[in-house]
C-alpha cells in the first residue's frame, strides 16, 4: 500500500477536530451570524452524534451486505439460478422507493427513532452489494471454473477459496457505494427522531438556525469522504494481481454526499 | 487403463458424441485429434466426469468413474487446460500445491513437492513466489503441468494445452512432455486439433470426426493406412508419406559396401533426416556409422525410396 497520503491525513485531522471541539468554532459562528444567540449545536456533543451516525450505518449496511452477499451467492448457484431475474427486479424496485417514503411507511410499524431508520438504510444498502456480488461472481472466467472443478474442489470450497476472493474487489466496490449512500441517507433518520449527524441539520432547518445546518453538513460530508478513502485503500489492497482485462473497480460513487 | 464402453452424449436431443468405445492402455500417450466440434474435448472430460455420458460407461482401472464422488475422482487425475487456468489470486507456489492441499498433505511435504515439481517442469525457483500474470504463456503452461502432476496421479488429461503458445515455445514444451511421459510412465490423454502435434507426441492416435472415432492406431498406422478420405486429408494427403518417414530409421536400409567419402550419419537417423541430408548435399548415397562411430555401410536413395514405399503401401 502507498504511504499515508497527506491529503487524507489532513481531512482526518479536521474531521477529528470538528467532532471533538465543535464548541471552539463558536467565535467564528458568532462573527458570521452576529444576531444568533446560540450558534453552536449543543443538544448533544458531535462525538455522540458521530458515534450514533456510525452505528446506524455500520449496523444497517453491515447487515445489508451480509444479506446481499448471501442472496448473490444463492442466485448464482445451480439451485438458485432461476431466482436471479426476480431477485434483481425486487432489489431494483427497493431502490426506486425514496428513503423518506420508506421512513414514512416504517414509522407506523416500528415507531419513531432508530428502528425505522435502520430498516430504511438496510433496504437501501442491499442493491449495490447484491449487484456487485452477482457481477463479481459472473466475472470469474470460465476457464477458472473449469480448472477449479477439474482439480477436484468441492462446490463449497470453490466458492470460498476461488470465487469469492476473485469477486471480492467487485463486492467491496459495491459496499463502498452502499455505505456512502447510507452515510448520507442516515441524516434523514433524524426527522423521525433517530440521533445522528442529521440532528443539527434537521433542527437547524426547523428553527432557521443556519449554523447548525452548516455544522452537521460539514461533519457528515467529511465523514463520507473519509470512509470513501478507507474503501479506496481496501479496494487497492484487494485488487487481484491478474490479467489486464480485470476491471480495477466499479464506477466510483460521488464522495460528496452532504445533507439532503 | 481407461475404457469407454459405448459412451454417448447428447445436448438438447442432438447427439454430439458416440456411442464411443475406446481403450487407452496404461502408460500410453493417447492423442485425441480432430477438427473443432468433433467431440475430442467432450471425450476427454468424460474421463474426469466434468461431462457425464447419457449412455454407456467410462472407467479407469476397471472402476466406473461414476462410482466415485467427482471430487475424489478428479483429485486422482491431473488436468491441464489450454489457458493454463491458473488461479490468478494465488502465487505460483500455491497454484502448484492445489491438489496436495485438497488432499490435506502436511505443509512440509507440500513445500518439498513444490520444489521438486519446479525442477521437473524446469521452472526457476524464483518464479514460485510470483503471481501467474507475471509469467509468460509458456511458463504458465509449465505451472499448469506442475499442478496436474502435484499429487502424482496415474492419469493426466491435457485439453489443447499448447494451443495458445507460439511455435517455438510449443515445440519445446512438446519435447519436454514426451520426456516427462517417458520418465514417469503416466497415462496421458492429450487433445489437439493439430495433426503434427499428435504425430510428434502420441504413442496412440485417435482421429475423431463428428463425435465418432474415424480411426485409431499408432502414428505410423494412421499415416500408412488411413481408413477413409477424411483421415487421409487430415493427416495431410500425399504429405503423409513424408511424415511417415519420421517414424522409421535407416537401420534396415543400410547396405554393406565400400566406404564412400563424406561425413557418416548415425544408424539411428530417421528416413526423413537421411532424405533431407541427401537433398542438402546433392548426393544419392551417404555413409552410415553405428552409435560408437564404427563404419557400417552406405544407404542409397533407391533403398530409401523402396523403404518409404513399403511403409506407405504395406
CA atoms lying within 13 Å on the CB side of residue B172: 11
- The pLDDT value recorded for residue A246 is 39
CB contact under 8 A, B87 and A242: no
pLDDT (tens digit per residue) in B29-40: 999 999 988 999
Q: Could you tell me what percent of chain B has a pLDDT over 70?
A: 99
Instruction: Give the one of A143, A152, A240 whose C-beta lies nearest to B81's C-beta.
Output: A143
CB contact under 8 A, A150 and B79: yes
- The pLDDT value recorded for residue A93 is 81
- The pLDDT value recorded for residue A108 is 82
CB contact under 8 A, A143 and B85: yes
**How many residues are given for chain B?**
314
B71 vs A contacts (CB less than 8 Å): 152-154
| Low-confidence residues of chain B: pLDDT under 70 | 312-314
* B83 and A CB contact within 8 Å: yes
CB contact under 8 A, A241 and B71: no
pLDDT (tens digit per residue) in B194-248: 988 998 899 999 999 999 999 999 988 888 888 888 998 888 877 777 788 888 8
CB contact under 8 A, A241 and B81: no
CB contact under 8 A, A151 and B131: no
Residue that has been written with the C-alpha cell 487407452 in this structure: B24
CB B80 within 8 A of CB B159: yes
This prediction's pTM:
0.81
- The pLDDT value recorded for residue B267 is 85
Instruction: Give the one of B83, B133, B147 whose C-beta lies nearest to A242's C-beta.
Output: B133
**How many residues are given for chain A?**
260
- The pLDDT value recorded for residue A242 is 55
* B164 and A CB contact within 8 Å: no
Distance of alpha carbon B98 from alpha carbon B28, whole angstroms: 26
- The pLDDT value recorded for residue B312 is 67
pLDDT (tens digit per residue) in B8-20: 999 888 888 979 9
- The pLDDT value recorded for residue A107 is 83
CB contact under 8 A, A150 and B48: yes
DSSP A177-225: HHHHHHHHHGGGGGGGT--STHHHHHHHHHTT-HHHHHHHHHHHHHHHH
Q: Alpha carbon B73 to chain centroid distance?
A: 22
pLDDT (tens digit per residue) in B259-272: 888 888 888 888 88
Shortest distance between the Cα of B162 and any Cα of chain A, in A, equals 15
CB pairs under 8 A between A and B: 67
Residue that has been written with the C-alpha cell 479506496 in this structure: A232
Distance of alpha carbon B26 from alpha carbon B188, whole angstroms: 9
| Torsions phi, psi for A51 (to 5 deg) | -65, -40
CB contact under 8 A, B74 and A149: yes
B72 vs A contacts (CB less than 8 Å): 152
From first to last of its 260 residues, what are the pLDDT tens digits of chain A? 455 688 888 999 999 988 888 888 888 888 888 888 888 888 888 999 999 999 999 999 999 999 999 999 999 998 888 898 898 888 778 778 777 787 888 888 888 888 888 988 898 889 899 999 999 999 999 999 999 999 999 999 999 999 999 999 999 999 999 999 999 989 988 888 889 999 999 999 988 888 999 999 999 999 999 999 999 989 888 887 654 443 333 333 333 333 33
Shortest distance between the Cα of A152 and any Cα of chain B, in A, equals 4
Instruction: Give the one of A143, A149, A241 whose C-beta lies nearest to B50's C-beta.
Output: A149
- The pLDDT value recorded for residue B283 is 87
CB within 8 A of A22, min separation 6: which ones?
Answer: A40, A41, A45, A46, A215, A219
Residue A10: burial class (beta carbons within 10 Å; 0-12, 13-18, 19+): exposed
- Tell me which chain B residue has its CA closest to the CA of residue A156: B71
B50 vs A contacts (CB less than 8 Å): 146, 149-150
Which contacts (CB < 8 Å, 24+ apart) does range A32-39 have?
Answer: A32/A211, A33/A210, A33/A211, A36/A209, A36/A210, A36/A211, A38/A209, A39/A209, A39/A211
Question: First-to-last CA distance in chain A?
Answer: 34
Distance of alpha carbon B232 from alpha carbon B224, whole angstroms: 9
CA dihedral sign of residues A249, A250, A255, A258: negative
* β-sheet bridge partners, residue B13: none
B157 vs A contacts (CB less than 8 Å): 150
CB B177 within 8 A of CB B148: no
State ipTM: 0.82
Instruction: Give the one of A141, A152, A166 whose C-beta lies nearest to B99's C-beta.
Output: A152
CB contact under 8 A, B88 and A157: no
Instruction: Give the one of A149, A157, A162 whose C-beta lies nearest to B87's C-beta.
Output: A162
CB contact under 8 A, B133 and A241: yes
- Tell me which chain A residue has its CA closest to the CA of residue B49: A150
CB contact under 8 A, A151 and B79: yes
Shortest distance between the Cα of B292 and any Cα of chain A, in A, equals 47
Shortest distance between the Cα of B102 and any Cα of chain A, in A, equals 7
Amino acid at each position: 500500500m502507498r504511504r499515508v497520503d497527506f491529503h487524507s491525513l489532513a481531512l482526518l485531522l479536521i474531521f477529528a477536530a470538528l467532532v471533538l471541539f465543535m464548541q471552539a468554532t463558536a467565535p467564528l459562528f458568532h462573527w458570521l451570524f452576529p444576531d444568533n444567540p446560540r450558534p453552536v449545536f449543543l443538544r448533544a456533543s458531535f462525538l455522540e452524534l458521530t458515534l450514533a451516525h456510525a452505528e446506524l450505518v455500520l449496523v444497517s449496511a453491515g447487515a445489508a451486505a451480509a444479506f446481499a452477499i448471501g442472496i448473490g451467492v444463492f442466485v448464482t448457484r445451480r439451485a438458485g439460478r432461476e431466482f436471479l431475474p426476480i431477485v434483481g427486479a425486487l432489489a431494483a424496485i427497493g431502490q426506486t422507493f425514496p428513503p423518506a417514503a420508506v421512513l414514512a411507511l416504517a414509522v407506523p410499524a416500528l415507531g419513531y427513532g432508530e428502528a425505522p431508520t435502520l430498516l430504511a438504510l438496510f433496504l437501501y444498502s442491499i442493491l449495490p452489494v447484491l449487484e456487485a456480488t452477482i457481477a463479481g461472481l459472473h466475472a470469474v472466467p470460465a476457464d477458472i471454473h473449469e480448472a477449479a472443478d477439474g482439480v477436484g474442489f468441492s462446490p463449497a470450497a470453490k466458492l470460498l477459496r476461488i470465487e469469492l476472493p476473485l469477486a471480492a474487489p467487485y463486492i467491496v466496490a459495491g459496499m463502498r457505494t452502499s455505505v456512502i449512500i447510507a452515510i448520507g441517507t442516515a441524516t434523514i433518520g433524524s426527522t423521525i427522531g433517530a440521533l445522528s449527524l442529521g440532528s443539527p441539520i434537521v433542527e437547524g432547518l426547523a428553527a432557521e438556525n443556519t449554523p447548525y445546518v452548516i455544522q452537521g453538513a460539514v461533519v457528515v460530508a467529511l465523514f463520507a469522504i473519509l470512509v470513501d478513502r478507507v474503501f479506496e485503500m481496501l479496494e487497492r489492497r484487494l485488487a487481484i494481481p491478474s490479467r489486464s482485462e480485470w476491471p480495477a473497480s466499479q464506477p466510483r460513487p460521488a464522495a460528496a454526499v452532504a445533507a439532503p | 487403463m481407461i475404457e469407454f464402453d459405448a459412451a454417448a452424449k447428447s445436448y438438447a436431443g442432438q447427439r454430439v458424441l458416440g456411442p464411443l468405445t475406446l481403450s487407452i492402455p496404461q502408460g500410453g500417450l493417447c492423442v485425441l485429434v480432430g477438427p473443432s466440434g468433433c467431440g475430442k474435448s467432450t471425450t476427454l472430460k468424460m474421463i474426469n466426469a466434468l461431462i457425464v455420458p447419457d449412455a454407456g460407461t467410462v472407467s479407469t482401472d476397471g472402476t466406473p468413474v461414476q462410482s466415485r464422488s467427482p471430487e475424489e475422482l478428479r483429485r486422482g487425475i491431473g488436468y491441464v487446460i489450454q489457458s493454463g487456468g491458473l488461479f490468478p489470486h494465488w502465487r505460483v507456489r500455491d497454484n502448484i500445491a492445489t491438489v496436495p492441499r485438497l488432499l490435506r498433505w502436511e505443509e512440509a511435504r507440500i513445500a518439498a513437492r513444490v520444489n521438486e515439481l519446479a525442477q521437473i517442469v524446469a521452472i526457476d525457483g524464483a518464479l514460485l513466489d510470483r503471481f501467474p500474470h507475471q509469467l509468460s504463456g509458456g511458463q504458465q503452461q509449465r505451472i499448469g503441468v506442475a499442478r496436474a502432476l502435484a499429487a502424482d496421479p496415474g492419469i493426466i488429461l491435457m485439453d489443447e494445452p499448447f494451443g495458445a503458445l507460439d511455435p517455438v515455445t510449443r515445440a519445446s514444451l512438446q519435447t519436454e512432455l514426451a520426456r516427462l511421459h517417458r520418465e514417469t510412465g503416466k497415462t496421458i490423454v492429450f487433445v489437439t486439433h493439430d495433426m503434427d502435434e499428435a504425430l510428434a507426441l502420441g504413442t496412440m492416435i485417435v482421429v475423431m470426426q463428428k463425435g465418432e472415432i474415424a480411426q485409431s492406431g499408432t502414428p505410423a498406422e494412421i499415416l500408412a493406412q488411413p481408413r477413409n478420405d477424411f483421415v487421409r486429408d487430415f493427416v495431410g494427403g500425399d504429405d503423409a508419406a513424408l511424415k511417415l518417414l519420421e517414424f522409421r530409421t535407416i537401420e534396415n536400409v543400410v547396405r554393406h559396401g565400400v566406404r564412400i567419402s563424406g561425413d557418416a550419419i548415425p544408424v539411428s537417423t530417421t528416413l526423413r533426416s537421411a532424405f533431407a541430408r541427401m537433398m542438402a548435399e546433392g548426393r544419392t548415397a551417404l555413409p552410415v556409422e553405428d552409435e560408437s562411430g564404427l563404419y557400417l555401410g552406405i544407404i542409397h536413395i533407391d533403398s530409401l525410396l523402396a523403404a518409404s514405399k513399403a511403409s506407405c503401401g504395406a
